[in-house]
């Protein structure tokens, strides 16, 4: 019996360590802490289920140990011999009945808790401020801000900025296969399904940076299809929106290199990328109109620094193999010119 007791003690303490380290919250995508009204009611439910599961493991383990220690008869049990289940007060059936009743009551209680949680997060308690339409692509997120009119709308990628403390409406669709939108601290998962549009909402109750991840396997680079939700104070958010509406700066005052870079960009990259205010209007890759206002590249894969941007443009297939941007043949002068032009896209 001793090794069994030791093994049981070991697995229970491993479980407890797992639970407490996940609860510490130093992981960027911990789902055990929430930061918004849509996630808040879900977190206690997760904790409830964790405690319930731990209790089930402990109770069953104890019953097995007690059952094996408590030998009911000293008679040897011969093969083929039948042992009758006793009815009545001291019988085995009492255990079966009480087990069934306890399980049914517990599960029913959790079903009720789950249903009421779903009802609680169905819609926010104040009207949504605006709509963001997120389109899943293999393997990045197109993010369309729908303003009060087309001239107030714009498109960006992989980073969703929101005003803190205000709910926003999310519309989710897909350009290719099924993806799933998941920002654990702010919302549970909602799928992006080709041919239909799902609606949900998002709210952060504080400013901060919340990491998300595609949560439905969608091909080779599924793991590198992350996103960020950045929650800003209202006035900063309004400034950011106004800045995003601006087209790329024109020729006036632009250096020779920038003008060159723009021409090269339109010729070599414009088939797939849009930069508003230039002739580049491609829709296959992310909109780059305000590339420099984003902190990461290629769906949160590398930081958007000078080195990161050069590395990505010269060899995207090395950084994110099989992604839909091919390595484009560029001389070092061309790379320099394109990069200098991209730096102007603040
Ligand atoms: Cu995916």
Assign residue 173 the CATH number of its domain: 2.60.40.420
How does residue 24 score in pLDDT terms, banded at 50, 70 and 90?
very low
Query: Is residue 325 a part of any domain in this protein?
Result: yes
| Segments forming the whole domain that contains residue 286 | 256-343
Query: Is residue 126 a part of any domain in this protein?
Result: no
Residue 216 and residue 262 in one domain: no
Residue 14 and residue 107 in one domain: yes
Report yes or no: 190 and 198 within 8 Å, Cβ to Cβ: yes
Rounded mean pLDDT of the chain?
A: 89
Determine the distance separating the centroid of ligand 1 and the alpha carbon of 214, expressed in angstroms.
4
Query: Is residue 64 a part of any domain in this protein?
Result: yes
DSSP 331-344: -HHHHHHHHHHHHT
Query: Is residue 322 a part of any domain in this protein?
Result: yes
**Count of structural domains, the chain:** 3
Confidence (pLDDT) at 25:
47
| Distance from C-alpha of 135 to C-alpha of 155, rounded to nearest angstrom | 11
Determine the distance separating the centroid of ligand 1 and the alpha carbon of 224, expressed in angstroms.
8
Determine the distance separating the centroid of ligand 1 and the alpha carbon of 303, expressed in angstroms.
20
Determine the distance separating the centroid of ligand 1 and the alpha carbon of 180, expressed in angstroms.
7
Report yes or no: 69 and 1 within 8 Å, Cβ to Cβ: yes
Q: Which of 155, 158, 134 is nearest to 289 (CA)?
A: 155
| Residue 5, CA distances (Å) to 10, 18, 19, 233, 273 in order | 9, 20, 21, 54, 62
Report yes or no: 167 and 128 within 8 Å, Cβ to Cβ: yes
Residue 55: φ, ψ to 5°: -65, -40
Strand partners, 212: 227
Please state whether beta strands 168-174 and 159-163 pair in parallel, antiparallel, or not at all (unpaired). Answer: unpaired
Determine the distance separating the centroid of ligand 1 and the alpha carbon of 185, expressed in angstroms.
19
Residue 237 and residue 277 in one domain: no
Determine the distance separating the centroid of ligand 1 and the alpha carbon of 30, expressed in angstroms.
18
8-state DSSP, 193: -
Digit-coded pLDDT (tens) for 132-190 = 999 999 999 999 999 999 999 999 999 999 999 999 999 999 999 999 999 999 988 99
| Torsional class of 25: left (φ above 0), alpha (ψ -120 to 50), beta (otherwise) | left
Query: Is residue 78 a part of any domain in this protein?
Result: no
Give the whole-number percent of the chain exceeding pLDDT 70: 87
Taking residues 272-295, what's their average pLDDT? 95
Residue 239 and residue 261 in one domain: no
How does residue 51 score in pLDDT terms, banded at 50, 70 and 90?
very high
- Residue 13 tokens read as 């303490």
How does residue 27 score in pLDDT terms, banded at 50, 70 and 90?
low
Digit-coded pLDDT (tens) for 225-266 = 999 999 999 999 999 999 999 998 888 888 999 999 999 999
Determine the distance separating the centroid of ligand 1 and the alpha carbon of 1, expressed in angstroms.
47
pLDDT at 46 over 80: yes
How does residue 68 score in pLDDT terms, banded at 50, 70 and 90?
confident
């Amino acid at each position: 019996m001793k090794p069994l007791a030791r093994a049981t003690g070991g697995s229970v303490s491993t479980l407890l360590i797992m639970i407490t380290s996940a609860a510490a919250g130093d992981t960027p995508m911990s789902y055990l802490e929430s930061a918004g009204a849509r996630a808040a009611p879900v977190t206690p439910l997760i904790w409830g289920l964790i405690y319930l599961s731990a209790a089930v493991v402990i109770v069953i383990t104890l019953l097995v140990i007690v059952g094996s220690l408590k030998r009911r008869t000293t008679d040897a049990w011969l093969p083929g011999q039948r042992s009758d289940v006793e009815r009545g007060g001291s019988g085995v059936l009492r255990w079966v009945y009480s087990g069934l009743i306890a399980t049914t009551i517990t599960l029913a209680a959790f079903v009720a808790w789950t249903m009421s949680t779903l009802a609680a997060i169905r819609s926010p308690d104040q009207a949504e401020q605006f709509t963001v339409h997120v389109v899943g692509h293999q393997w990045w997120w197109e993010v369309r801000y729908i303003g009060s009119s087309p001239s107030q709308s714009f498109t960006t990628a992989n980073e969703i900025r929101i005003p803190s403390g205000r709910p926003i409406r999310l519309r989710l669709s897909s350009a290719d296969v099924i993806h799933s939108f998941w920002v654990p601290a702010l919302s549970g998962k909602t799928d992006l399904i080709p041919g239909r549009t799902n609606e949900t909402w998002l709210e952060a109750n504080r400013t901060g940076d919340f990491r998300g991840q595609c949560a439905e396997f969608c091909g080779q680079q599924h793991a590198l299809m992350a996103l960020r939700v950045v929650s800003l104070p209202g006035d900063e958010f309004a400034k950011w929106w106004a800045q995003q509406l601006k087209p790329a700066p024109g020729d006036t005052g632009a250096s020779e290199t920038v003008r060159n870079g723009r021409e090269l960009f339109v010729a070599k990259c414009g088939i797939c990328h849009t930069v508003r205010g230039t002739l580049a209007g491609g829709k296959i890759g992310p909109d780059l109109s305000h590339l420099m206002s984003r902190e990461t590249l290629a769906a949160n894969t590398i930081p958007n620094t000078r080195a990161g941007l050069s590395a990505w443009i010269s060899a995207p297939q090395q950084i994110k193999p099989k992604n839909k941007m091919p390595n484009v043949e560029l001389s070092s002068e061309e790379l320099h010119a394109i990069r200098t032009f991209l730096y102007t896209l603040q």
